[in-house]
Structure 1
Amino acid sequence: MNYPRVLCLGEILFDNLSDRPGKPYEEVDSWTPYPGGAPANVACALVKLGTSAGFIGCVGKDEAGDQLVKLLDDVGVDCTGVQRHETAPTRKVYVVRSETGDRSFAGFGNRDTTEFADTHLQADGLSEELIENADFLVLGSLELAFPDSRDAIERALKWAEQYDVKIVMDVNRRDMFWPDPAESKPLIENLIKRIDFLKISDDEAEWLFDTTDAGAITYRLGNVEGVLVTAGDKGCTYCLGENEGVLPAFNMEVVDTTGAGDGFVAGFIHQLCEYGINSLRDAGVAKGVARYASAVGALTTTKPGAIAAQPIPTEVVAFLASH
Structure 2
Amino acid sequence: MPHVLCLGEILIDQIATETGSFEQVKSWNAYPGGAPANVACGLTKLGTSSGFIGCVGQDAVGNHLVQLLQSTGVDTSGVQVHATAPTRQVYVTRSDSGERTFAKFSSNESDRAETAFADMFLDADRLPEDLFIEADFLVLGTLCLASPIAAKAVERALQLAEKYYLGVVVDINWRPMFWPDPSQALSQILSLLAHVDYLKVSVEEAEWLFQTSNPVAISALHDHLEGVIVTNGEMGCQFYLGEREGSHPAFPVATQDTTGAGDSFLAGFVHQLCHHPLSHLDDPALVREIITYASAVGAITTTGLGAIAPQPTDAEVRDFLLQRS
Give the number of equivalent residue pairs. Answer: 320
Report the secondary structure of 1:25's partner residue: coil
Q: Does 1:8 align with 2:9?
A: no
Paired with 1:292 and 1:67, the residues of 2 have a C-alpha distance of 31
Bigger mean CA offset, 107-116 vs 233-242? 107-116
Q: Identity over aligned residues, as a percent?
A: 54
Q: Does 1:88 align with 2:89?
A: no
Paired with 1:27 and 1:174, the residues of 2 have a C-alpha distance of 22
Q: Does 1:40 align with 2:3?
A: no
Report the secondary structure of 2:195's partner residue: coil
After TM superposition, give the deviation of residue 43 of structure 1 in Å.
0.1
Paired with 1:89 and 1:276, the residues of 2 have a C-alpha distance of 42
After TM superposition, where is structure 1 displaced by more than 4 Å over at least 4 residues in a row? none
Report the secondary structure of 1:26's partner residue: coil
Report the secondary structure of 1:281's partner residue: coil
After TM superposition, give the deviation of residue 276 of structure 1 in Å.
2.1
Paired with 1:63 and 1:105, the residues of 2 have a C-alpha distance of 23
Paired with 1:185 and 1:56, the residues of 2 have a C-alpha distance of 24
What residue identity is the alignment partner of 1:43? A
What residue identity is the alignment partner of 2:33? G
What residue identity is the alignment partner of 1:47? T
Q: Does 1:17 align with 2:15?
A: yes
Q: Which residue of 1 aligns with 2:69?
A: 72
CA RMSD, Structure 1 to Structure 2 (Å)? 0.8
Paired with 2:184 and 2:221, the residues of 1 have a C-alpha distance of 22
Report the secondary structure of 1:42's partner residue: helix
Q: Does 1:246 align with 2:247?
A: yes
- TM-score normalised over the length of structure 1: 0.98
Paired with 1:179 and 1:49, the residues of 2 have a C-alpha distance of 36
Alignment gaps of 5+ in structure 2: none
Alignment gaps of 5+ in structure 1: none
What residue identity is the alignment partner of 2:123? Q
Q: Which residue of 2 aligns with 1:192?
A: 193
Report the secondary structure of 1:130's partner residue: helix
Q: Which residue of 2 aligns with 1:49?
A: 46
1:37-72: CA deviations, max 9, x gaps? Answer: 000000000000000000000000000000000000
1:202-238: CA deviations, max 9, x gaps? Answer: 1101111111111111122101111111101011011
Paired with 2:37 and 2:80, the residues of 1 have a C-alpha distance of 14
Q: Does 1:97 align with 2:98?
A: no
Alignment of 1:37-186 (within 5 A): 37-109=34-106, 110=109, 112-114=112-114, 115-186=116-187
Report the secondary structure of 1:255's partner residue: coil
Report the secondary structure of 1:302's partner residue: coil
Report the secondary structure of 1:104's partner residue: strand
1:124-155: CA deviations, max 9, x gaps? Answer: 11011111221000000011000110000000
After TM superposition, give the deviation of residue 28 of structure 1 in Å.
1.6
Q: Which residue of 1 aligns with 2:236?
A: 235
Report the secondary structure of 2:302's partner residue: helix
After TM superposition, give the deviation of residue 89 of structure 1 in Å.
0.3
What residue identity is the alignment partner of 1:82? V
Paired with 1:43 and 1:50, the residues of 2 have a C-alpha distance of 11
1:147-194: CA deviations, max 9, x gaps? Answer: 110000000001111111100000000000000000110000000111
What residue identity is the alignment partner of 2:261? A
- TM-score normalised over the length of structure 2: 0.97
Report the secondary structure of 2:98's partner residue: coil
After TM superposition, give the deviation of residue 80 of structure 1 in Å.
0.4
